[in-house]
Amino acid sequence: MNKQTIITILLVLAALTSKAQVKSHVIGSVAEGTTPVELVIYRDGEDPKDSKLRPVVKDGHFECDVEDAQIERWHIVDFGEVMEKGMTSRSEAFFVEDGATITIRLDGDKFDIQSTGKEYQAWHAMEQEAEAKFMPAYEKLDENDDAAMAELENEYHQWTLDYYKTHPMLGFLLELGERLNGFHFNDTGLAPMLGIYYRQYITLHPKHPVHQRIAEQEAVGYQICGRKYNDYDVRTIDGQQVRASEYYKGKLTLVICWASWCSPCIRDACDIIPIYNEYHNRGLNVFSLAHEFKSTDAMRKAVGRHAFPWPCLVDLDDEFGVFRKHGTQNSALFLIDCDGTIIAVPNSVEELEQQLQKIFKENK
């Protein structure tokens, strides 16, 4: 068998393996009186602007087929409104399942989706049960009562996790894979989801590529609240390559992510200085990570101008991918305990101060 024959066979095999194995038929409608829409259908993890699946609404109806290599989560969005306003509430998810008919209706700003696919039905049943349980309490909340809102959100997240434990479904795997792919530092629900995954889901749908996607995303070394803070290489402000563990191992540590080009970051770092002065001698360790480009000149000026009293490290031009690991481009706070576990990702300096007050009060 010559080289050209082998290449031909490989190309044929590649074409066969990439051929779509599942197809769903979408039947859609737009309610009378709904403002004009520009619909885009796209797959989890893809940019909607790159999608070629753009069904045209004619006389209030649209129709198309959606194909994939296996059952996956897809989305429909009014991309025209995204482009015009920068955001939209007209967005919803569905599953592409072989032979499933997906009925989509847009009425005002809400998509209603029904599907004959079993995996979507299992996912949708959870959504409906959650809405029946939590929506009445949500509607009664005072929008200014942050504490009550946080308590209700925590109750909802715990209920969802408990539901996943007792109702195994592919939807859980797809949700976990996508949340890891789009990791953001304040996604505090990832650690418990990963716990459920390794206890109950790792053998569910074992041939589905979502397992490989989850493994690849975990290998990035994301800094996930509730799990160990992953070590990494970084540089000092003078360019020396060091390990981050030199700056946090065995200490209660605050990691400040910032950038010289980010004014809110600098403001937060300045507000942390008096907190550092109050707690440093009581055991609080601090270091910062700067996300800089081209040079560290602006960083050096900011550090000197504001007299940051902690070690200032830098990842210049994303040399080590430090900020991807932290799920941010600039601002974020990570609080690590003495055992190296991320115990909090405060969303503000005020929240950080409250958490430190509680920690040091309990440790008196």
Structure tokens at 3: 């080289």
Residue from 259, 258, 245, 272 nearest 336 by CA: 245
Q: pLDDT tier at 20 (50, 70, 90 boundaries)?
A: low
Instruction: Show the domains of the chain with their CATH numbers.
Output: 16-116 (2.60.40), 124-218 (no CATH), 233-362 (3.40.30.10)
Tens digits of per-residue pLDDT, 249-304? Answer: 999 999 999 999 999 999 999 999 999 999 999 999 999 999 999 999 999 999 99
Between CA 74 and CA 68 the distance in angstroms is 10
Q: Which band of pLDDT confidence, cut at 50, 70 and 90, is reported for residue 9?
A: very low
pLDDT-derived band of residue 15, with 50, 70 and 90 as boundaries? very low
Q: Residue range 54-60: average pLDDT?
A: 94
pLDDT confidence of residue 3? 43
Q: 165 to each of 49, 188, 198, 210, how far by Cα in Å?
A: 36, 18, 12, 18
* pTM beyond 0.85: yes
In DSSP terms, 43 is beta-bridged to 74
Is it the case that residue 10 has pLDDT exceeding 80? no
Predicted pLDDT of residue 363 = 62
Return the structure tokens found at 137: 């309490």
CB 126 within 8 A of CB 98: no
> Residue 215 — φ and ψ, nearest 5°?
-60, -40
pLDDT for the residue 139: 87
